[in-house]
A = this chain, B = another copy of it.
Amino acid sequence: MKRTAFYVSDSTGITAHTLGQSLLAQFEGVQIEHVIVPYVDTAEKIRDLVTRINAAYERDGHQPLVFDTIVNDDFRGSLAQSHGFMVDILGAFLKPLEKVLNTHSSYSVGRAHSAATDSNYKNRMDAVNYAMDNDDGARITHYDRAEIILVGVSRSGKTPTCLYMALQFGVYTANYPITEDDISDLRIPKALQPFKQKLFGLTIDPERLAAIRHERRPDSKYASFKQCEFEVREVEAIFRRYGIPYLDTTHFSVEEITTRILSQLGVERRQ
């Protein structure tokens, strides 16, 4: 049995999609086709959408699921006339929140529209620029500005983690690859020594590291299990020697790696 899930919004649809996916992840056996419909902000777009929902109902033989965050009451009324099963995200919680906060909600559309000029947003973009400029040890003279400096062997997950921290949470994160030269010294590179408190290590299962490196440079020494195993073992020894906190990224997504690092270091998310 196949179902269609619509994620509908008068803005980007990101909230509807995130919540809808979390809910549907609890139903493992159900096969879902996901359809995101952002910027539904005119009566005409609502009519089109109702047509699409009803068509999905005919095609699937099952009621489509409609996760919506549309604010306009008229539009929601029209949407409710479709054959979809409505999951009314704002409606379910706004009324109780109005009561406990003892105030009316603004029900304003598209708070996110002002995002581009607010200070949190600017900070996120500045953090992205910082992450790009300070990726892979490219510059070593701006670490005083970093909140976190990720260290680890090549392809242990440093770059995507830095980018995620910057884009989502506005955290200034640099990263520095520990190379074979550093390993032979058994010490952290000189450029990093004044910033020991900001260091966080990433490590990874050597077998997985070899697979990842193999995609990058097939059949190289760099990608060999022996080399990966050596680098990982030695880098972990450096982490322990210097008391650098570290995390094995093998089974974690960037969302999880980021959450654990920020938690452990007590760095705030600025969203």
Contact = CB atoms under 8 A, between A and B. Distances in A.
B26 A22 contact: no
Interface string A122-166: 000100110010010000000000000000000000011001100
B116 A252 contact: yes
Interface of A: 3, 11-15, 17-19, 21-30, 36, 38-39, 63, 65, 69, 85, 87, 89-90, 92-94, 96-97, 100-101, 103, 105-108, 111-113, 115-117, 121, 125, 128-129, 132, 135, 159-160, 163-164, 167, 249-256, 258-260, 263, 269, 271
A259 B103 contact: no
Contacts of A15: 18-19, 22
Contact of A26 (B94, B100, B253, B259): B94
B107 A251 contact: no
Contact of A167 (B25, B93, B125, B164): B164
Contact of A65 (B17, B100, B115, B160): B100
Given A111-B25, A271-B21, A160 B125 contact: yes
Contacts of A69: 22
A186 B269 CA distance: 44
Contacts of A39: 259-260, 263
A159 B90 contact: no
A237 to B, nearest CB: 25
Contact of A103 (B27, B106, B252): B27
Choose among A117, A135, A256 the residue with the greatest number of B CB atoms under 10 Å from its CB: A256
Given A26-B94, A26-B97, 8 more contacts: A14-B255, A15-B18, A23-B94, A24-B97, A26-B105, A29-B103, A38-B259, A164-B167
Contact of A256 (B19, B112, B254): B112
Closest 8 CB pairs of A and B: A26-B105, A115-B253, A25-B111, A12-B259, A15-B22, A85-B100, A116-B253, A38-B259
Contacts of A249: 116
Contacts of A271: 17, 21
A12 B252 CA distance: 11
Contacts of A29: 103
Contacts of A17: 269, 271
